[in-house]
Amino acid sequence: MSPIEERRHTLAHLLAAAVAELHPRALPTIGPAIETGFYYDFDYRSASPKEEELAKLEDKMRELLPAWTEFTHEAVTADVAREKFADNTYKIELINEIEAAGESITLYTCGGFTDLCRGGHAKNPAKEIEPSSFKLERIAGAYWRGDENNAMLTRIYGLAFDSNKELEAFELMQEEARKRDHRVLGAQLKLFTISPLIGSGLPLLQPNGAIIRREIEEYLWDLHKHKGYHRVWTPHLAKEALYQTSGHADKFGDELFRVSGKDEKFFMKPMNCPHHMQIFADNHFSYREMPVRYFEPATVYRDEKTGQLSGLTRVRAITQDDGHLFCRVGQINEEVSSITSIIKEFFSTMGMLDGYWVRLSLRGPGGQYLGDDKVWEEAQMALESAARTNELPYRAVEGEAAFYGPKLDFMFKDAIGREWQLATIQCDFNLPERFDLSYINEKGEKERPVVIHRAISGSLERFMGVMIEHFAGAFPTWLAPEQARVLPISDAHKEYAHFVVTELKAAGIRATLDDSNETLGKKIRAAKTMKVPYQLVIGDAEVAGKSATLEGRQEKFGAMPIADIVEKLVEEIRTRSL
């Protein structure tokens, strides 16, 4: 555990100690550190505390903290432990399990409070934990051990960081994130909807959302088409045997959607790789034709738990901007370079390149992986060397690899500093083996290709969710569903306003006319609510001067000839400027 994780977990103990003082009847169960702090699950055996009681518990934690100067621990027999927690069936269950596993049972004590624990604490909490660096965040229900057949417990979440400054920065970011929630903006800007009749995790794009998605998809293809990629298309389901061969059937298990045909059984595809591999195999390529590069924005299906589905970011139908490259080992470096240049250009256009980093995701202990050690080492070395050649800011992390090979995962920060794992480049020596892929080498012999799996945006659904929040719905002009709105001040200006809209549309600009009978003020507010990048106001002077008064989100440009407005907007869209 890292020092912050130790402090976070220590705070879970401290919370349990505070609860023990204020609610002696409550039974503590487990309390781990989590990404932004900690939680502890309690069975209150009476009414759970209300949110407003969190402040009291927090005060109690701060009151107890100065006496928490040292953790002591002792290994005890199961019987002693069971006696100690005689009235706590949850702890008894844990003790029985630890006993059955033959592991040692340890009790940790600090500030006079003892808990069953495996260890991993701050050595001197009073000294190491800044009292204002943590805060109790919220109360939620949680089933004992995540199983809905078990008792519902009370989970108290806490935030904890290295300092009060970091805690405040995090809370500010959370507040900003709430304002940008893509589910709220998605409804407000009419981008997507979720129908209970269709199902959760299966969002439907409204016309506005479909425009954004198409723009992203077209941009992605623009970045690939001159780099030797070919577009392919593959169906959405395939026979079970395909995924048994690829290993996906084992890997994804009950996350796979099963489809029964009249005679045969199918899976909705969880990945596109096996499909692209069948296309490759059909061609019997020679070494002169390598590398072969396929591109396909393709939807895959995974049956995630309903409770985990949310907006566009956790869905059951995931459209990857997928691509597979089949190359020789000696070509890996150059191919990774080419993909990296696409990734950098794409995220620079989105305004997300600053502060990105790359995780070299390696195998970890206990995971479910295909292939032998030698093949893995070869793939890891190839990727690491490509990362060095491209001077990527990378860190190696164990346990994050794909089941068929190591990968480079690109982490980008959004406008409010949240980190998203988006692009990926994966090196695979295993699936080519499973599908017996080959090309003919210089000696006329069959040779095994390496497969590079890559995605730039990751998934179009999730990426769109991230973009909505990153831009807070105020998309750059090229992405905005509605790029310009023409606002005539009164009826007398409608005819000319109509002409202006026609001119804008003829230049390929997504323009609309607000010919409602509302006041100009209301029309401007309506356009701002929909976050339209440009408004063109038309009054007497504009009609007379064949112009329009142009207003952007940040800037007022005053009256401009229509031709100049068209030129300005077209250039901004063409260059996909931010």
Where do contacts with Zn ion occur on this chain (CB under 5 A)?
A: 117, 273, 453
Give me the least distance between CB of 416 and Zn ion, in Å please: 31
Give me the least distance between CB of 404 and Zn ion, in Å please: 8
- Residue 375: enclosing H or E segment and its boundaries? helix 373-389
Residue 60 annotated in active site:
no
Residue 453 annotated in active site:
yes
Answer whether 42's CB lies under 8 Å from 153's CB.
Answer: yes
Residue 224 annotated in active site:
no
* Catalytic position from the list 316, 320, 470, 535: 320
Closer residue to Zn ion, CB minimum distance, 15 or 211: 15
Half-sphere exposure of residue 548: CA atoms within 13 angstroms, side-chain side = 29
Give me the least distance between CB of 353 and Zn ion, in Å please: 25
Residue 320 annotated in active site:
yes
Give me the least distance between CB of 527 and Zn ion, in Å please: 43
Whole-number Å distance between alpha carbons of 446 and 457: 34
In the structure encoding, which two tokens stand for residue 400, read together? 């994050």
Instruction: Name, in order, each residue with C-beta under 8 angstroms of 417's C-beta and a sequence gap of 6 or more.
Output: 173
Specify the 3-state DSSP secondary structure of 509. coil
Closer residue to Zn ion, CB minimum distance, 117 or 408: 117
Give me the least distance between CB of 485 and Zn ion, in Å please: 42
* Catalytic position from the list 407, 454, 462, 493: 407
Give me the least distance between CB of 276 and Zn ion, in Å please: 7
Give me the least distance between CB of 273 and Zn ion, in Å please: 3
Closer residue to Zn ion, CB minimum distance, 17 or 167: 17
Residue 327 annotated in active site:
no
Burial of 383 (0-12, 13-18, 19+ CB in 10 A): buried
Q: In 422-561, which ranges are continuous DSSP H helix?
A: 431-434, 460-470, 494-506, 520-529, 540-545
Burial of 357 (0-12, 13-18, 19+ CB in 10 A): middle
291 upstream amide cis, omega within 30 of 0: yes
Closer residue to Zn ion, CB minimum distance, 30 or 167: 30
Closer residue to Zn ion, CB minimum distance, 135 or 453: 453
Residue 324 annotated in active site:
yes
* Catalytic position from the list 302, 359, 418, 434: 302
- Residue 152: enclosing H or E segment and its boundaries? strand 152-160
Answer whether 341's CB lies under 8 Å from 228's CB.
Answer: no
State the Cα torsion 518-524-528-531 to the nearest 10°.
90
* Catalytic position from the list 60, 248, 316, 324: 324
* Catalytic position from the list 121, 453, 462, 510: 453
Closer residue to Zn ion, CB minimum distance, 19 or 273: 273
Give me the least distance between CB of 325 and Zn ion, in Å please: 10
Whole-number Å distance between alpha carbons of 354 and 415: 10
**CA 170 remoteness from chain centre:** 18
Instruction: Name, in order, each residue with C-beta under 8 angstroms of 574's C-beta and a sequence gap of 6 or more.
Output: 478
Closer residue to Zn ion, CB minimum distance, 453 or 485: 453
Closer residue to Zn ion, CB minimum distance, 452 or 513: 452
Burial of 565 (0-12, 13-18, 19+ CB in 10 A): buried
Length of the chain, please?
Answer: 578
Residue 117 annotated in active site:
no
Q: Looking at the DSSP assignment, which residues form a beta bridge with residue 410?
A: 358
Q: What positions carry a catalytic annotation?
A: 273, 302, 320, 322, 324, 407, 453
